[in-house]
Structure 1
Amino acid sequence: MNTPPAQPPLDRNPLGDISVLYVSVLLRAADAEGVNVQELSRHFQLNEQTLSSPETRISLPRFMRLGHAAIQACNNTTLGLRIGALTRPVDAGLAGLAGECASTVGKAAQTLIRYSLLTSRNSRGIPKVEADKRLIQFYSIRPYNAFNYFVVDSVLSAWTQFLRTVSGQWDVLEKVSIEYPSTGMDELFEAWFRCPVQFGAASNSITVRQDIWRQDTLQAQSAIHEKLTLLCEVEMREIQRGWTTGDRVKSLLTPLFRGETPSLETIASKLGVTPWTLQRQLASENTGFRELMDETRKQLARDYIRETDTSLSEIAWLLGFSNPAALHKAYRRWFEISPGEHRKQFRATP
């Protein structure tokens, strides 16, 4: 039986959340760009106690609004690259520390990505490594806008900085692929990554040079690597503890919604069970596949309306509705108000 990938519970924001470890890096980058980070932190209710607690997370929409506000304050749309440049292995928590002492750069990258869910959760998917291609891939976060360009920039540049740190080399990449279209700063990106950068690509990813992938890391220490990865495994199991079958179904639904309605057979296959077994397990929890799909769409629709400026047509696509009218009808059934009116209400509330 296949074991589905671990993900944190679906409480807090349905769109996802991120550790304040990454928030601290964002604030360091903003500070380096001359932003008044004390004022920025107060505006987003980030006090010293919050920022000093490694277990604390904030919602992804809040993180994106924070980044957008920092970009507006410093007028640097490539702040994501600055975030990446200032990211240290320790800023990825146990995963970063475990990766830093892996035997090779390739194993360091695999460790970092394997345990990335210990510090972040996104309803869109999870990053992955294709070791045979030396490819590290970040999931799609379409549709792109001023609030999320920097997320892709900061993730890909932070991974690059991690590789530079563990290898002691500067030129570590063969290629960078970025899903969103060029914003006219191709040369700046290629100078930062020191390799060709393709915008408008099929996915977000970095491809590591073969000699770098195989190289020993500067901090290689097998005993400590083993101990830290064991700690990571323990934390991953803690994340999974208490999960119901319904929780697992909901975690798999969101990335599959884009433009279509996932089938029971598809979800059962990803869980490594037969459709009949999945139905029986859900029935034992007093729920069903259709109910979970409707509940997941309801949670996500509310948060897209409340937390983002995403258009109704884009939200309809993200939730697998055939058209905006179908989303509008479902939204009225869920909340007894149109999505447009609901957004106005949310905007009027401090």
Structure 2
Amino acid sequence: MTKTNKPKQNGLGDISLLYVLVLLRATEAEGGDTNTLKTQYHLSDSALASPDARISIPRFMRLGHAAITLTGNKALGLRMGALTRPIDAGIAGVAAETGPTIGQALATLIRYALLSSQNSRGESTLSPEQRTARFYSIRPYNRYNCFVVDSILAAWTQMVRHMTGRYDVLEQVRIEYPSIGLDEVFESWFRCPVEFGATENSIRLKASVWEQVPFQAHEGMHEKLTNGCEQELKQLRKGWSVADRARYLMTPLLKGETPTLEALATRLGTTPWTLQRQLASEGTGFRQLLDDTRKQLAQDYLQETGSSLSEIAWLLGFANPPAFHKAYQRWHGVSPGERRKQIQGM
């Protein structure tokens, strides 16, 4: 759980222990024994005190599930949101609350999210014209990851409330996973309609809130802090090869389909021919990069998650489970089912 200047390009991602601290606060607020969780997940006080320490995304999800089991609160993500402060998003959170408007504050949070969380599933986005912040899809949903969506959307909402002193800040919340039977709890917390089974995870702010000036707005400090964020972001990406950047952008495109060279080149802001030439100069190619990315992710999904083999096949962009089985057999000489049994037997 240490800081690195290079992302885990072949992994499922990691997240700052600042988020773990929020989870532990929520667990404690719900009457759970946080010492039990810290012992079980080897979370030392020194690591928790470090602003640079990280935990893998799958481990964070398992920790969240354990906390929900411990407290009995399926909506623990909302409690996490309620206890989130700007500082819990690191320097990006502090920079956000000094922004000139709430819209700009959210833009700052999302632009610099990579400083505290890198997830292979995708990146959050902002649509200013719709006053909407979107958290990427982490399908397929299960008992381990729904709370992540809850906690992010609730954290964004809570930070807007913190910066405005208002509670009625939203027009609508949309959540991708199906209802878990707590619709009234969610609508009461967000204070607006909440749509489950939606096509995205998002919050839409009221027009008056979007343009409101945060309590802590300060032009000079905002510029200084965002400059600091930019420097950290550049340092984080320093040394990324074209293949590194391509892999980072390729992984979210895998869901349910095989990404094309053209689609990846577009994401990178270049042409297919130029991308092929750049990859070749680094000793690889699009097909090899795709195969290598799938190979590593398959291993991570089997070892780190409880996703079914059909779900993993979808996450890796294979046309069907048999295609995934065939590829895995070629990579490792055993079937994915046999490999999972070996992992479970360790």
Partner of 2:40: 43
2:218 aligned with 1:183: no
2:85 aligned with 1:91: no
Structure 2: gaps of 5 or more residues: none
Match of 1:296 among 286, 293, 298: 293
Greater mean alpha carbon deviation, residues 268-277 or residues 232-241: 268-277
Distance in 1 between residues matched to 2:28 and 2:234, nearest whole Å: 36
CA deviation string 1:21-48 (max 9, x = no partner): 0011101111111111112111101101
1:67 is displaced (CA, Å) by 0.3
CA deviation string 1:258-295 (max 9, x = no partner): 11111111111221222111111111111111111001
Greater mean alpha carbon deviation, residues 13-22 or residues 227-236: 13-22
2:188 aligned with 1:197: no
CA deviation string 1:76-118 (max 9, x = no partner): 1110000000000000001100001111111111111111111
1:10 is displaced (CA, Å) by 3.7
1:188 is displaced (CA, Å) by 0.5
Contact preservation (8 Å) 2:9, 2:244: no
Structure 1's consecutive aligned runs of 4 or more residues displaced over 2 angstroms after TM superposition are: 7-13
Partner of 2:50: 53
1:312 is displaced (CA, Å) by 1.0
CA deviation string 1:303-344 (max 9, x = no partner): 111111111111111111111111111111112221112112
2:142 aligned with 1:120: no
Partner of 1:158: 155
Contact preservation (8 Å) 1:135, 1:205: yes
Contact preservation (8 Å) 2:82, 2:154: yes
Partner of 2:145: 148
2:69 aligned with 1:72: yes
2:105 aligned with 1:105: no
Give the secondary structure class of the aligned counterpart of 1:247: helix
Greater mean alpha carbon deviation, residues 233-242 or residues 327-336: 327-336
Partner of 1:174: 171
2:214 aligned with 1:217: yes
Distance in 2 between residues matched to 1:162 and 1:347, nearest whole Å: 41
Distance in 2 between residues matched to 1:137 and 1:298, nearest whole Å: 29
Tell me the TM-score normalized by structure 1.
0.96
Distance in 2 between residues matched to 1:285 and 1:225, nearest whole Å: 39
Residue identity opposite 1:121 in structure 2: Q
Q: Does the C-alpha gap of structure 1 residues 28 and 114 become closer, same or farther in structure 2, counting only changes over 3 Å?
A: same
Contact preservation (8 Å) 2:9, 2:247: no
Residue identity opposite 1:38 in structure 2: N
Partner of 1:207: 204
Contact preservation (8 Å) 2:7, 2:118: no
Matched residues, percent identical?
59
2:345 aligned with 1:348: yes
Residue identity opposite 1:80 in structure 2: G
Tell me the TM-score normalized by structure 2.
0.97
Distance in 2 between residues matched to 1:203 and 1:8, nearest whole Å: 31
Distance in 1 between residues matched to 2:104 and 2:122, nearest whole Å: 22
RMSD of equivalent CA atoms? 1.3
1:146 is displaced (CA, Å) by 0.4
Distance in 2 between residues matched to 1:269 and 1:74, nearest whole Å: 45
Aligned residues: 343
Distance in 1 between residues matched to 2:239 and 2:246, nearest whole Å: 14
Q: Does the C-alpha gap of structure 1 residues 8 and 180 become closer, same or farther in structure 2, counting only changes over 3 Å?
A: farther
1:237 is displaced (CA, Å) by 0.3
Partner of 1:279: 276
Distance in 1 between residues matched to 2:128 and 2:228, nearest whole Å: 23
Contact preservation (8 Å) 1:252, 1:267: yes
Q: Does the C-alpha gap of structure 1 residues 197 and 8 become closer, same or farther in structure 2, counting only changes over 3 Å?
A: farther
Contact preservation (8 Å) 1:8, 1:117: no
2:308 aligned with 1:308: no
1:8 is displaced (CA, Å) by 7.0
Match of 1:19 among 2, 16, 39: 16
2:286 aligned with 1:251: no
Residue identity opposite 1:203 in structure 2: E
